[in-house]
Structure 1
């Protein structure tokens, strides 16, 4: 990881570094220029092609992503990661048919399962019906926001809003909706218990005045955080959100979904907007700062209970955040410690004296720094639930901008 302290000399140094180093530091524009320089001398450089495709995919630039990733796969048939990313490029555009053979070819259980469920979706997926936009009041704000939504025309039930979620149901909600599993795979371990994820096709999911039809869905029997009035029926997040211009209005306690309009600026939101990248199939990333350190790459996860910030002990100490070693806790099966940051920020949105958690070790699946290896670029933190309470946060997956505005 490059140093967190930024200075003009740091940027000058980075501009001469190799593109892999720049990419790892989250300097995607400079890395892209570096990979293009490599291609001018080596047009069949599979690594450069793959990385150019990945950078384009992170920014939802689907044409270049498809072009470069296809060339990388043709040159290196064993490049499973580029096959997955090319499949994701199609999935984000709701073009499921070309994604199926790519996922089948990776020989990975999760990919095989999703290829199977996509093959069971006939007709046009992700069909949107109803109003041009809808505002749905939060049913609860804590432990994380939730709203009412209907599955297959049933009575509205409570769903958690989590940007680290796709569309996920409980086992009971899936059975009540009459869903049939067409595929399954192991989803790892939760609270010491192995979790199996089941996949199927959902006829209808209705949120407020908007209905979405013919969509993939997953369910499992893992425990969810309790809510006022009983357990939730599931959760939804980024795979729903990126089909709309989505605002989680924490301060106003509402979810706002608006149909996307390409190429149109959106009033005051056009000023002060942050860059937005999408890693994997549902991990939003942007630029954030810990005190005076940054801006650097961070993740945005609205599903963190009782916390505003996730990072590691090593990063916390490096940027001067005090770690409370006297009160260790178990989190994700690993040792973590409470922290309180004097100041953190996403652009002009600032949180002061915010509580968070620092993990002792970096490991896959930990929001923020733990996903650096998974994504291939360094992350310094994850900004989560408590940070957003004074704000409204808008995800624009067309212009790839994030707005965090105080209400």
Structure 2
């Protein structure tokens, strides 16, 4: 989603850099640090799943299915594991059975719809989304029903290598919407989002509308439509879903307005590299092998929801545990909660300078050391929330995804590296 026009060091400015829908309500912080991973009962896949121990949890659910093939919960969870890893055939098989057994269970229906959407198979997702009873799902079902023919048609050159027009406050590149060039933020917590002005200039027609999201403590409206053409470098994507809103956005460093933002839903159609060190975005065919060098670290990659990449990361000596990857965090390298910051150690919380946001307090923090595999950040600045709330990344997503999250790694951490997202083999490469 688009960034917001507030202080770059205020974490509240991030709600639209990392969201592509109305704000999702987050529950209370799950007890991530209450026990070591090994403390979960070996025969309790729910606890293993909650701790992010996916392989062990999946074995447990499959054991349950051998005992009772009609266990709807186990079917839904095995299907969810497959979806997190983009194993679409297996996800569809198990989620379909779960939906048939419990037609009123919203989560498996939404995940089955997402399984189809990720494959650009929009038609079978429509009735599932209409049946959940949720306004956001209904709006996207309406959007997908207006996309005729094959969506996400990729034309032009096989690859694109596009220089960043700026690295800060977050990377941005030039792209073209319906023939109109503009500068777009890059954000892994985004889909494809246009400014209202750009959407109007491009002749966009809204086919669905959502209200009730909050930006800068004011309600916003989001419109959904079908975009004829989106071009990055020599690659053109035709007939794709898009959204735009009336949220305010920060200007680019030269004072000009950004045209919007794009991220994971574009990225997962390619082998995508955000090369911070080389200041460029590279899109290659999905079948291309990810770059490998002796200094490369290759980590597992999962995709939660429609646009939340996850991997394994550590805070100091604590971890590796599940973390999210949000490249759109202005002036920040890390998001977590005060509870986690205090309990893992090595993180200084600045209690003297709280930032009030929607009745919550967010504190500046400095982490001595954080890491994704062998990629290490030292003295990393970030933010810790007193309690989780809608729009806060990392641990704030735990209730939505069903598994605990240690933190969110964001913009400042990635600056020395080139990061490749491979949504075919489901690996993250950092070099």
TM-score category, normalised to shorter length: over 0.9
Runs of 4+ more than 2 Å apart: 1-6, 264-272, 330-334
Picking from 202, 208, 219, the partner of 1:177 is 202
> 1:53 maps to what in 2?
79
> 2:177 maps to what in 1?
151
Q: Is the 8 A contact 2:297 2:375 kept in 1?
A: no
Q: Is the 8 A contact 1:201 1:215 kept in 2?
A: yes
Q: Is the 8 A contact 1:191 1:333 kept in 2?
A: no
Structure 1 residues 84 and 269, CA gap change in structure 2 (3 angstroms): farther
1:245 maps onto 2:271 in alignment: yes
Give the C-alpha shift of residue 2 in structure 1.
4.6
Greater shift after overlay, 248-257 or 332-341?
Answer: 332-341
Give the C-alpha shift of residue 373 in structure 1.
0.3
1:76 maps onto 2:110 in alignment: no
- Tell me, what secondary structure is at the counterpart of 1:273? strand
Give the C-alpha shift of residue 401 in structure 1.
0.4
Distance 1:334 1:211 in 2: 43
Structure 1 residues 332 and 224, CA gap change in structure 2 (3 angstroms): farther
Give the C-alpha shift of residue 187 in structure 1.
4.9
Give the C-alpha shift of residue 201 in structure 1.
0.3
TM-score calculated relative to the size of structure 2:
0.90
Distance 1:96 1:32 in 2: 28
> 2:139 maps to what in 1?
113
Distance 1:271 1:76 in 2: 44
1:199 maps onto 2:224 in alignment: yes
Q: What CA deviation, in whole Å up to 9, does each residue of 1:23-76 have, x standing for no partner?
A: 000011100000001111111111000111111100000011000100000000
TM-score calculated relative to the size of structure 1:
0.95
- Tell me, what secondary structure is at the counterpart of 1:268? coil
Q: Is the 8 A contact 1:4 1:293 kept in 2?
A: no
Structure 1 residues 254 and 340, CA gap change in structure 2 (3 angstroms): same
> 1:190 maps to what in 2?
215
Q: Is the 8 A contact 1:60 1:400 kept in 2?
A: yes
> 2:356 maps to what in 1?
330
Give the C-alpha shift of residue 403 in structure 1.
1.0
Distance 2:45 2:236 in 1: 43
Distance 1:126 1:332 in 2: 38
> 1:166 maps to what in 2?
191
> 1:219 maps to what in 2?
244
**Number of equivalent positions:** 399
Q: Is the 8 A contact 1:291 1:345 kept in 2?
A: yes
Structure 1 residues 27 and 400, CA gap change in structure 2 (3 angstroms): same
1:384 maps onto 2:407 in alignment: no
Distance 1:276 1:3 in 2: 22
1:293 maps onto 2:318 in alignment: yes
Give the C-alpha shift of residue 268 in structure 1.
3.3
Give the C-alpha shift of residue 246 in structure 1.
0.3
> 1:130 maps to what in 2?
156
Structure 2, unaligned runs of 5 or more: 1-30
Structure 1 residues 265 and 339, CA gap change in structure 2 (3 angstroms): closer
Structure 1, unaligned runs of 5 or more: none
> 1:319 maps to what in 2?
344
Higher RCO (CA 8 Å, separation ≥ 6 residues): 2
Distance 1:289 1:332 in 2: 29
> 2:261 maps to what in 1?
235
- Tell me, what secondary structure is at the counterpart of 1:322? strand
> 1:38 maps to what in 2?
64
Give the C-alpha shift of residue 174 in structure 1.
0.3
- Tell me, what secondary structure is at the counterpart of 1:96? coil
Q: Is the 8 A contact 2:176 2:232 kept in 1?
A: yes
Structure 1 residues 366 and 243, CA gap change in structure 2 (3 angstroms): same
Q: Is the 8 A contact 2:210 2:221 kept in 1?
A: yes
Distance 2:33 2:366 in 1: 22
Structure 1 residues 333 and 212, CA gap change in structure 2 (3 angstroms): farther
Give the C-alpha shift of residue 228 in structure 1.
2.2
Q: What CA deviation, in whole Å up to 9, does each residue of 1:343-376 have, x standing for no partner?
A: 0000010000110100000123211000000100
- Tell me, what secondary structure is at the counterpart of 1:97? coil
1:268 maps onto 2:268 in alignment: no
Picking from 93, 103, 122, the partner of 2:129 is 103
